[in-house]
Amino acid sequence: MKRPVVVVILLTAIVVGIVVLTQLKPPRLTASTLERASEVQRKLDQEATVKVAQAQPAPAEAAKPQEAKPAEAAKPQEPPKSAEAAKPQEAPKAEGGNVFKVKFECSNGTFVVECHRDWAPLGAARFEQLVKEGFYNECRFFRVVPGFVVQFGLSGDPALNKKWRSERIKDDPMKQSNLPGTVTFATSGPNTRTTQLFVNLGSNARLDGMGFTPFGKVVEGMDVATAINAEYRETPNQGMIQEQGNDYLTKAFPKMDYIKSATIVP
């Protein structure tokens, strides 16, 4: 009797277990199951959308953009009625004819420069003004390159250098070539001539297209200009000359030739 009872109990336990497992096992995700789930989700989404729309207040009328008024165009400023139109720089009127001469008495001799106003009116007028004011007296020949140029025109007085440093004149049209003996203002660019000059010791026609306009030429004593001491060549510092003048030059370059006086002569 015991054995059949045990078998019955075991069979009963197995049946109960199968039933329990069947209830706990999640449903299979078949195609039909997924379709039903998607349909339910669509309905829920539609209902939610309707509820949200009903809850929101009626949309306000869109604000109309303000029309920006065009800014008034700036009116061009009128020139002051009292102001006169700027006149181009003109050379001062000559006191005596087209040609004048300047004698340079130097530490190594004398030479004479003949100046022609029609070659370079502005340059000739500035040179004449500086000579009359005695600017070139005691000036050193601070740059001497044999066969090229001898340069001068920085004052031994720092105060005079400061005074004239910004007194620039405009360029003159090129009318003469930088041939041997011609005298020309040195420049640092267009319209920058002030006080510095050079005598061409050779044929320097290559300078003609660079704004170096001759206004005169050595007519006496070219041998003196050529013999100016070239020992120091281009060594002197022009900035030091500007600031310290002859105090710097006489100490550092004691053998440098110089101009004792420059005067206008008949």
**Structure confidence at residue 240 (pLDDT):** 97
Strand partners, 263: 103
CB atoms within 10 A of CB 24: 7
In the chain, domain spans: 99-265
Please state which CATH class domain 99-265 belongs to: mainly beta
**Structure confidence at residue 34 (pLDDT):** 42
Strand partners, 183: 199, 216
**Structure confidence at residue 252 (pLDDT):** 97
Contact 112, 219 (CB under 8 A): yes
Which helix (H) or strand (E) element contains residue 23?
A: helix 2-24
Tokens of 103: 């004698």
Q: Which of 239, 242, 264, 237 is nearest to 253 (CA)?
A: 237
HSE-CB for 195 with a 13 A CA cutoff:
25
CB atoms within 10 A of CB 38: 10
Contact 200, 179 (CB under 8 A): yes
**Structure confidence at residue 109 (pLDDT):** 98
**Structure confidence at residue 97 (pLDDT):** 86
| AA identity, residue 32 | S
> Taking the chain (266 residues) in consecutive chunks of 10 residues, what is each chunk's mean pLDDT?
60 62 42 44 54 45 33 30 38 68 98 98 98 98 98 97 96 97 96 98 96 97 98 97 97 98 97
**Structure confidence at residue 27 (pLDDT):** 37
